[in-house]
Amino acid sequence: MRRAPLLWIVVCSVAALLTVPTLFLIPMSLTGGSTFQFPPPSWSLRWYRNLVEDRGWRDAVMVSLQVAVLSTPMAVAIGTGAAFGLMRLGARLRLIGAGALSAPLVIPNILIALAIYGMFLQMGLSGTILGLVLGQTALAVPFVLIAVLARLQGYDRNLTAAALSLGATPATVFRTVTFPLVLPGIVAGGVFAFVASFDELVIALLLQSPRTVTLPVQMFNAVVEAADPTISAASTVLVVVVSAVILVAQIGWTRRSEKRSGSGA
């Protein structure tokens, strides 16, 4: 099979358009100067040292990780449960339900953030980790829902019927057939949920208190106050963490399928 040269050019251009700006970050974070001059006048790891040594930056990374680690499982649980529930409805109700649950994707984040802010202020959740976790869970649920729903819609219900006819109880059917087949959707949804939470800015900005500054908020504040290349270092960390999560999920999945096909007899 020969690849069409034109297609090849288009693919490469799109890939470059998407990744090159990000790749500029990395040399900029390694600059020895104190401005965003490009190419950097000299090379140094000083901004990374700043990121680790400066309490504000270090705490921000920890808060972001903490919030993402807590909100991802919640989003996965809610989104997966909702997807299974929606599959039991008729086609029309399912569409309406999926639409309502995906609203956070469509409604501007600033509106959602304002609504959450007003509410959490009254409830005393503003400026708490719990408040951040809840807000970001709401934003992450649609990612899980869509990924799991797509997987469930491709699920052949005859598999459930077959497993039942072979003597498996409904619970066993779920454990041995339905769940393993839907799992890739759940994992993909979880990865997206983690990423969505880890680099979410608007809600985190409104709900911030000195104890709950996330990495994106810290970056935003740094830009507003006095931009120095620490922000490039922070961005690089963000990109690396997010890419690592997605890569690990993907590689882990490929390995697993390879191993599985060799199991049995």
Partner 1 sequence: MNARAGRLEIRELVKHYGGDGPAAVAGIDLTIDPGEFITLLGPSGSGKTTTLNMIAGFVPPTSGSILLGGTDLTGLQPHKRGFGMVFQSYALFPHMSVFDNVAYPLRQRGKSKAEIRKLVLDIVERFGLAGLERRRPAQLSGGQQQRVALARALVFSPPVLLLDEPLGALDRKLRAQLQLELKKLHQEVGLTFVFVTHDQDEAMYLSDRIAVFDEGRIDGMGRPAELYDDPGTLFVANFLGEANTFAGRFADPRTYAWNDEKWRTGEGDHPAEAVLVVRPERTRVFAPGEVPPGWNSVGAIVTDVSRLGPTSRIDLAFPDGRAGAAVLPSTDAVQVRVGDDVRAAWDLPSQAFVTP
Residues lying near partner 1 in the complex (CB under 8 A) are found at 156, 158-159, 161-170, 172-173, 176-177, 180-181, 260-265
Least separation in angstroms between CB 166 and partner 1: 4
**122 or 263, CB closer to partner 1?**
263
Least separation in angstroms between CB 57 and partner 1: 44
Q: Cα(136)–Cα(118) distance, rounded to whole angstroms?
A: 15
Least separation in angstroms between CB 182 and partner 1: 11
Least separation in angstroms between CB 261 and partner 1: 5
**122 or 158, CB closer to partner 1?**
158
**73 or 180, CB closer to partner 1?**
180
